[in-house]
Amino acid sequence: MSRNNETKIKYLTQQEAYSLFKTIENTYTSHSLRDLVIFRIAYRCGLRVSEIALLKMQDYNASKGELYCRRLKGSNNNTLRLDSKTKYILDKYIVENNITSTSQVLFSSQKNNPISRQTLDYLMKKYCSMAGIEDKSKHHFHALKHTTAVHLAESDMDIKELQWWLGHKSVSNTEIYFQFTTKQQDRMYAKLDEKSEMV
């Protein structure tokens, strides 16, 4: 990812992400449980829209709460542990939808095809609007992957850990997310302030 693209990265702030997930949780439709688990998995694992459609039952180890993530665009596949809330919702979704075959896709359309990019982008636009997220340039599903990366960088995950988590082959693709963290900038200025007090 080039430096010229830095300003083009769109991600949700912590507050916007919270509002988005609360909105999905409080929406009651025939697909609301599916939508909630899709968004939680995409956020937890930093998955692209096309990678969500690849997930199958065989990729989920329920006993360990781990999900095998097939990455596209030359990224490395990896296995990530889900947080307890996402695991609970996924387990509930699997039972309610009677997903038993290991080859069965986890998230399908009404026509039993893997859920499409168009559907996921539609859902992102819908829930972002309902959550009051005004910047429409963030109303794209891929913004969730950027959101994951920035939030993990803000959580003090180091660059090599984040590179592995996102499946990046090159660390240069990971570096950009550390440009956006206010916490990192605050620490930098704090160090400078300490030095200035000594002179």
Reported as a pLDDT band with limits 50, 70 and 90, residue 5 is very low
The token pair that represents 60 in the structure block: 């989920």
Write down the pLDDT at residue 94.
Answer: 96
Q: For the beta carbon of residue 101, count every other beta carbon within 10 angstroms.
A: 10
Q: List pLDDT tens digits, range 88-105.
A: 999 999 999 999 888 899
Burial class, 197, CB count within 10 angstroms (exposed 0-12 / middle 13-18 / buried 19+) = exposed
Cα 162 to Cα 166: distance, rounded to the nearest angstrom: 6
Write down the pLDDT at residue 95.
Answer: 96
Residue 3: is its pLDDT beyond 70? no
Architecture of domain 11-197: Orthogonal Bundle (1.10)
By C-alpha distance, which of 38, 132, 143 is closest to 86?
38
Write down the pLDDT at residue 142.
Answer: 94
Question: What is the residue-averaged pLDDT of the chain?
Answer: 89
Q: List pLDDT tens digits, range 114-144.
A: 999 999 999 999 999 999 999 999 999 999 9
What sign does the dihedral 20-10-141-149 (CA atoms) show?
A: negative
3-class SS of residue 102 = coil
Cα 97 to Cα 52: distance, rounded to the nearest angstrom: 17
Residue 43: is its pLDDT beyond 50? yes
pTM, two decimals, is 0.87
Distance of CA 187 to the CA centre of its chain: 25
